[in-house]
């Protein structure tokens, strides 16, 4: 028996190595099944071949069992879907996974690589990952079936492969109060929530494209009318997104604040100093109140501190960290612009 199991093991080991490379949850399930079946078949053939003339049936059975077991285990990925929140497909769409909250450990990105922790960001129009300027607890939510969904997703595929369009981690009601919980709908031009109507469309390739929003609610629950690209995190904070702005360095998103950066330096620390000067200048002109200026200064100091704590290589942080920092600078710049508009002053 021992000899048959050893033979079955060698058979499975030579057959299965490519199976473990499967990355997405669906691929892993399919290829573990293939690994089990293939291991059983090869193990049975070789087990019967090495058995004695009168013992081939027994050898085939034992070899098949051993090959199936080893084939199943060898085709198992180190990053098992039993611990995955879900995965992104090649188009950047999220596929939710049935996994207990206590067991979730990470997810598969659009390249099929395992990433520890829940997704905290989104893929931009160029397919680049942009980290959200929000904490991990607000980066996503659980739908009504207990499946984890990134807050940045404008929709997702459930475990049956059905598309759930226009999903959101909550919405603002007519009084500007955040109502947390899975929601599907859109806002009209006056900021009224219309449930059940997803704002978006599928392009020629069948990929879902979210429409620009007619406005958004700021951190104070006030409706800001005008075209806007972004999403709300699970705590109701608006996260602006936009295509990367060429000519401004890094992978920053500048959206409708592009004019604000017209004369800004292109390096990160230069932009930090440039915004600091803007805060001081606006405060000296009474464009910003002392409270607003202090709050903006504290935000800028927090960004500077976080950048100093990040790993640097040749004086630069990683592209992912840089995208996160740029997004936070962009959000601060946008906040300063809105405060000037509220005060009815010209910059």
Q: Note whether residue 26 is domain-resident.
A: yes
Residue 20 DSSP label: G
Within a domain: 49: yes
Distances from the Cα of 34 to the Cαs of 7, 18, 19, 256, 292, in angstroms?
A: 19, 11, 8, 51, 61
Q: Is residue 287 part of a domain?
A: yes
Residue 245 lies in a domain: no
> Does the residue 100 lie in any domain?
yes
Between 263 and 172, the more confident residue is 172
Are 234 and 89 contained in the same domain? yes
Q: What is the pLDDT of residue 19?
A: 41
- CA gyration radius for the chain? 27
Whether the per-residue pLDDT at 346 is higher than 80: the answer is no
In this structure, are residues 235 and 178 in contact, taking their beta carbons and an 8 Å threshold?
yes
Asked if 224 and 285 sit in the same domain, the reply is no
What would the DSSP string read from start to end of 227-240? EE-EEE-TTS-EEE
**CB count in 10 Å sphere of residue 6:** 14
Query: At 136, is the pLDDT very low, low, confident or very high (cuts 50, 70, 90)?
Result: confident
- Among 210, 240, 270, the domain boundary falls at 240
What pLDDT band is residue 57 in, cutting at 50, 70 and 90?
low
Neighbours of 106 (CB within 10 A): 16
Residue 189, helix vs strand vs coil = coil
pLDDT of residue 11: 47
Mean pLDDT across 184-212? 80
Q: Is residue 159 located within the same domain as residue 262? A: no
Q: Which helix (H) or strand (E) holds 155?
A: strand 155-157
pLDDT of residue 51: 52
Q: Which two tokens stand for residue 89?
A: 């497909």
Can you read off the two tokens belonging to residue 304?
């500077």
* Sign of the dihedral defined by the CA atoms of residues 286, 292, 293, 294, in that order: positive
Report yes or no on 347 lying in a domain.
no
Same domain, 160 and 225: yes
pLDDT tens per residue across span 146-183:
999 999 888 899 988 888 888 899 999 988 899 999 99
Please determine, for residue 252, whether its predicted confidence score (pLDDT) is greater than 60: no
Across the chain, what does the average pLDDT equal? 74
Task: Report whether pLDDT(21) > 60.
Answer: no
Within a domain: residue 160?
yes
Maximum distance among all alpha carbons in the chain? 99
Q: Are residues 90 and 233 in the same domain?
A: yes
Q: Is the model's pTM score more than 0.75? A: no
Distance CA 24, CA 155 (A): 18
Indicate whether 318 and 220 sit together in one domain.
Answer: no
Number of domains in the chain: 3
Instruction: Report pLDDT for 268.
Output: 79
Beta bridge partners of 225: 215
Among the ranges given (73-82, 294-303, 320-329), the one the predictor scored with the smallest mean pLDDT:
73-82
* Per-residue tokens: 290: 């002392």
SS3 171: strand
Question: What's the pLDDT at 246?
Answer: 32
240: closest CA among 271, 215, 275, 268?
215
Residue 28 to residue 42: CA distance in whole angstroms: 20
Burial zone of 110 (CB within 10 Å; 0-12 exposed, 13-18 middle, 19+ buried): middle
Residues 161 and 186 in one domain: yes
Q: Which domain holds residue 120?
A: 82-240
Domain termination site, one of 43, 78, 113: 78
pLDDT of residue 247: 32
Instruction: Tell whether 192 is covered by a domain.
Output: yes
Which among 48, 78, 108 is the end of a domain?
Answer: 78
* 166 and 285 in a common domain: no
pLDDT of 105 over the 80 cut? yes
Q: Does residue 104 share a domain with residue 202?
A: yes
Is the same domain home to 174 and 233?
Answer: yes
Same domain, 92 and 236: yes
- SS3 sequence of 11-51: HHHHHCCCHHHCCCHHHHHHHHHHHHHHHHHHHHHHHHHHC
Output helix, strand, coil percentages for the chain, rounded to the nearest 5.
Answer: 40, 20, 35
Helix, strand or coil, per DSSP, at residue 241:
coil
Residues 271 and 233 occupy one common structural domain: no
- In order of 32, 115, 154, the CA distances from 163 in angstroms are 26, 24, 11
Mean pLDDT across 217-238: 87
CB-based contact 131:120 (threshold 8 Å): yes
């Amino acid at each position: 028996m021992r000899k048959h199991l050893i033979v079955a093991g060698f058979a499975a080991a030579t057959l299965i190595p490519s199976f473990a490379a499967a990355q997405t949850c669906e691929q892993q399930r399919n290829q573990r099944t293939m690994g089990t079946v293939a291991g059983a078949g090869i193990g049975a053939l070789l087990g019967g071949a090495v058995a004695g003339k009168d013992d081939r049936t027994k050898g085939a059975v034992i070899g098949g069992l051993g090959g199936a077991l080893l084939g199943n285990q060898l085709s198992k990925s180190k990053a098992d879907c039993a611990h995955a929140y879900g995965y992104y497909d090649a188009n950047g769409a999220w596929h939710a996974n049935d996994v207990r909250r206590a067991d979730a450990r990470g997810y598969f990105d659009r390249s099929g690589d395992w990433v520890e922790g829940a997704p905290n960001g989104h893929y931009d129009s160029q397919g680049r990952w942009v980290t959200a300027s929000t904490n991990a607890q607000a980066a996503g939510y659980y739908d009504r079936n207990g499946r984890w969904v990134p807050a940045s997703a404008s929709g997702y595929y459930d475990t049956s492969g059905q598309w759930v369009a226009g999903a959101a981690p909550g919405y603002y009601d007519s009084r500007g109060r955040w109502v947390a919980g899975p929601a599907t709908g859109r806002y009209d031009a006056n900021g009224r929530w219309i449930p059940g109507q997803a704002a978006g469309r599928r392009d020629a390739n069948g990929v879902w494209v979210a429409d620009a929003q007619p406005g958004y609610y700021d951190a104070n629950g006030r409706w800001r009318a005008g075209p806007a690209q972004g999403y709300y995190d699970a705590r109701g904070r608006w996260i602006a997104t936009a295509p990367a702005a060429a000519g401004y360095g890094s992978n920053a998103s500048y959206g409708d604040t592009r004019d604000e950066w017209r004369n800004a330096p292109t390096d990160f620390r230069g932009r930090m100093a440039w915004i600091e000067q803007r805060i001081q200048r606006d405060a000296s002109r009474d464009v910003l109140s002392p409270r607003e200026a202090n709050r903006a200064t504290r935000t800028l100091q927090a960004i500077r501190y976080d950048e100093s704590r990040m790993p640097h290589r040749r004086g630069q942080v990683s592209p992912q960290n840089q995208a996160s920092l740029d997004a936070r600078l962009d959000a601060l710049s946008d906040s300063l612009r809105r405060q000037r508009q509220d005060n009815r002053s010209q910059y």
